[in-house]
């Protein structure tokens, strides 16, 4: 039953891992000439526009590391379609191997269609672990923060899916974040490939690459940006709705890794939970950490605390009286520990 499963365990079991990861892929950032912050901001604006407004479709290979052993990884091929029409944005993915899963995002809501379970799981986009970074904040300010925490290198050009791409490398200045290597389509600014690298082990945390892509395609005549009707025997599971945004819950990070700041705070109500869960998001402009504070009660069965492996994500959790605090992100464990251990109720 959901009510007896801590958030970190529910997240671990979620079959929509591909949809979560894909969201991150398309919200990473790029620039072509990054020597000047103003020029970097200009390219980031271009990349943001490409990620959200271009119509494209293709086939993508996505791989995640499941353990420090680089041979232990999981890969999937998926069909990807993205369309923008008016004030609506539509992203659809469908797996080609493994269990059939379809993910549809319309604006800020994501639905995972699981035919084997005859189930649709609905979550807000904010819980899909998409790092908002500069896309939702002042770009010039966030660029300056990025320069303090990363060095930027424009590497060689390389062909990806038959298109010329510029390789951009974001190298962290400390051990609180991973290196990001991104291949950007020179013509349109669309992300064609990317790697997240743990420099301490030279291990790829995750990789994606378009093996085939068509960009600036016309909208299909049959396209209707709306949720498809479900068969009568399917069920819908809603997660995290009826919450409040921009709240002051009273929880405060007394210590943060260099460059990280709070960019969002809200409450969400999860099925089977008597109290609302506080969600806090911290970002350095490129990496992001989501922190979930759930009331579990003093008499609740003790659950695992400490570092938790979620494959391509890392997580750390601790108990604070009747509350369980869990941090999740694509960052080293030291980053999560610092945030979780420093979270206090003011």
Range with lowest mean pLDDT among 38-52, 106-120, 182-196, 291-305 = 38-52
* Structural tokens at position 238: 């809603």
Range with lowest mean pLDDT among 90-94, 129-133, 150-154 = 129-133
Comparing 112 with 8, the larger pLDDT belongs to 112
| pLDDT for 286 | 79
| pLDDT for 40 | 56
Contact between 287 and 131 under an 8 Å Cβ cutoff? The reply is yes
- Do strands 119-124 and 150-160 pair parallel, antiparallel, or not at all (unpaired)? unpaired
* Structural tokens at position 136: 């939702």
- Tell me the mean pLDDT in the region 228-251: 76
pLDDT band with cut points at 50, 70 and 90 for residue 284:
confident
Range with lowest mean pLDDT among 25-39, 135-149, 176-190 = 25-39
CATH class for the domain made up of 2-215: mainly beta
Under the phi-then-psi rule, with left for phi > 0, alpha for psi from -120 to 50, and beta for the rest, what region is 340?
Answer: alpha
Contact between 316 and 327 under an 8 Å Cβ cutoff? The reply is yes
| pLDDT for 302 | 56
pLDDT tens digits for 24-76? 334 333 333 344 456 556 666 677 778 888 999 999 998 877 665 556 677 88
Nearest to 91 by CA among 118, 62, 52, 64: 52
Q: What are the two backbone dihedrals, phi and then psi, of residue 210, each rounded to the nearest 5 degrees?
A: -75, 125
Range with lowest mean pLDDT among 172-181, 305-314, 327-336 = 305-314
| pLDDT for 132 | 29
- Tell me the mean pLDDT in the region 182-211: 88
| pLDDT for 125 | 58
Range with lowest mean pLDDT among 40-49, 197-206, 252-261 = 40-49
Comparing 309 with 13, the larger pLDDT belongs to 309
Is the per-residue pLDDT at 224 higher than 50? yes
Is the per-residue pLDDT at 267 higher than 50? yes
Nearest to 174 by CA among 335, 343, 313, 340: 335
Q: Where are the domains of the chain?
A: 2-215, 240-345
* CATH code reported for the domain at 240-345: 3.30.200.100
pLDDT tens digits for 88-123? 889 998 988 877 888 888 887 888 898 888 998 887
Which three-class secondary structure state does DSSP give residue 94? strand
Per the prediction, the chain carries an average pLDDT of: 77
Range with lowest mean pLDDT among 124-138, 186-200, 221-235 = 124-138
Alpha-carbon distances, residue 192 vs 47, 232, 289 (angstroms): 12, 39, 24
Nearest to 283 by CA among 253, 259, 312: 259
d(CA 47, CA 189): 5
* Structural tokens at position 27: 């919200």
Is the per-residue pLDDT at 148 higher than 70? yes
| pLDDT for 28 | 38
- Tell me the mean pLDDT in the region 212-229: 90
| pLDDT for 158 | 95
| pLDDT for 80 | 92
| pLDDT for 161 | 95
53 contacts: CB under 8 Å, gap ≥ 6: 84
What percentage of the chain has pLDDT greater than the value 90?
A: 22
Range with lowest mean pLDDT among 92-101, 171-180, 266-275 = 266-275
d(CA 260, CA 246): 18
| pLDDT for 18 | 34
- Tell me the mean pLDDT in the region 149-166: 89
Is the per-residue pLDDT at 307 higher than 60? yes
């Amino acid at each position: 039953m959901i009510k007896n499963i801590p958030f970190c365990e529910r997240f671990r079991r979620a079959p929509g891992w591909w949809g979560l990861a894909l969201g991150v892929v398309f919200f990473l950032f790029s620039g072509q000439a990054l020597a000047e912050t103003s020029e970097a901001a200009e390219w980031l604006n271009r990349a943001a526009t490409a990620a959200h407004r271009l119509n494209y479709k293709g086939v993508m290979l996505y791989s995640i590391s499941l353990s420090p052993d680089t041979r232990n990884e999981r890969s999937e091929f998926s069909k990807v379609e993205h369309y923008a029409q008016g004030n609506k944005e539509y992203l659809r993915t469908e797996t080609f191997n493994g269990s059939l899963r379809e993910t549809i995002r319309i604006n800020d809501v994501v639905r995972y269609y699981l035919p084997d379970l005859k189930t649709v799981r609905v979550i807000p986009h904010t819980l899909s672990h998409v790092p908002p970074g500069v896309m939702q904040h002042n770009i010039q300010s966030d660029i300056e923060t990025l320069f303090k925490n990363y060095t930027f290198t424009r590497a060689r050009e390389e062909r990806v899916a038959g298109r010329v791409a510029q390789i951009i490398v974001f190298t962290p200045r400390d051990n609180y974040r991973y290196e990001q290597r991104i291949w950007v389509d020179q013509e349109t600014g669309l992300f064609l490939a990317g790697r997240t690298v743990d420099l301490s082990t030279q291990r790829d945390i995750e990789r994606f690459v378009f093996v085939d892509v068509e960009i600036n395609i016309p909208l299909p005549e049959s396209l209707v940006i709306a949720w498809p009707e479900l068969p009568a025997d399917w069920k819908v599971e809603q997660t995290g709705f009826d919450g409040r945004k921009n709240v002051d819950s009273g929880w405060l990070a007394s210590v943060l890794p260099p460059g990280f700041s709070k960019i969002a705070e809200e409450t969400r109500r999860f099925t089977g939970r008597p109290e609302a869960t506080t969600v806090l998001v911290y970002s350095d402009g490129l990496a992001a950490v989501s922190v979930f504070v759930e009331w579990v009660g003093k008499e609740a069965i003790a659950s695992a605390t400490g570092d938790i492996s979620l494959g391509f994500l890392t997580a750390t959790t601790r108990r604070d009286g009747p509350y369980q605090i869990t941090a999740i992100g694509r960052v080293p464990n030291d980053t999560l520990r610092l945030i979780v251990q420093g979270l206090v109720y003011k």
